[in-house]
Amino acid sequence: MNRDREGNKKIRIGIMGGTFDPIHYGHLVAAEAARVEFCLEKVVFMPVGRPPHKQQQNITEPEHRYHMTVLATSSNSGFEVSRLEIDKEGLTHTFDTIIDLKRIYGEGTDIYFITGADAVLELPTWHRVKELMALCKFIAVARPGFDDLHLEQKMAEISSKYNADIICIEIPLLAISSTDIRNRIKNGRPIKYLLPEAVEMYIKEKGLYREW
């Protein structure tokens, strides 16, 4: 059991950040693996609002992404979905989100930010990165085929430069991406078994991604 210096139990919360456009089984497997491996009380899925790194890209409306994430996670009692970022006006930054979460859960809470390895490699470009590194730990999830040696080298460089705590975890090989799912829908190809059935039905009902 993780405890602070006074012997009190420390809360560990995982934050799964992403556009979830759409959410798929790769996201869910990564979140569950992190929850179990790091004994997290829960994993909070955080659909981004207006991410500064993707301003030039088409991103589905926040409400659609939020509802798909709720549908995908509803069967796991260890998962929650937050509206914190999508309800904010203007650009959203992870630093500000972590500050808000510290207020919600308490300053002593250990926060583990779960994201893809490719995003972790971009950490030096993130808003107030040095301060962010002091606020939370990062869990890097590598996709199948990712350059492990390059990842290890870059993670070591970032950890050393910013005194960061970055951990890489291995998950079952699921070569699924939101980009591929969107392209499949646009081209009339099947997406069944790539994402939860409830999410698939929501996409069909709302006619999402057909014009991408």
Share the mean pLDDT of the chain. 90
Determine phi and psi for 76, rounding to 5 degrees. -110, 115
Please identify which residue in the block is written with the tokens 């590194």. 133
4 lies in some domain: no
pLDDT score recorded for residue 147: 66
1 lies in some domain: no
- Check: CB of residue 177 under 8 Å from CB of residue 20: no
5 lies in some domain: no
pLDDT score recorded for residue 172: 76
pLDDT score recorded for residue 55: 56
- Per-residue pLDDT tens for 26-41? 999 999 999 999 999 9
Check: pTM over 0.75? Answer yes or no: yes
Counted domains in the chain: 1
CATH number at residue 35: 3.40.50.620
88 lies in some domain: yes
3 lies in some domain: no
2 lies in some domain: no
122 lies in some domain: yes
Domain with 118 in it:
12-206
Listing DSSP states for 22-56 in one string gives: T--HHHHHHHHHHHHHTT-SEEEEEE-SS-GGGTT
64 lies in some domain: yes
Which of 3-7, 119-123, 148-152, 167-171 is the least confident region?
Answer: 3-7
**Cα–Cα distance measured from residue 151 to residue 182, given in angstroms and rounded to the nearest whole number:** 27
- Per-residue pLDDT tens for 122-162? 999 999 999 999 999 999 988 666 667 778 888 899 999 99
Beta-sheet pairing, 42-47 with 79-81: parallel
- Check: CB of residue 46 under 8 Å from CB of residue 12: no
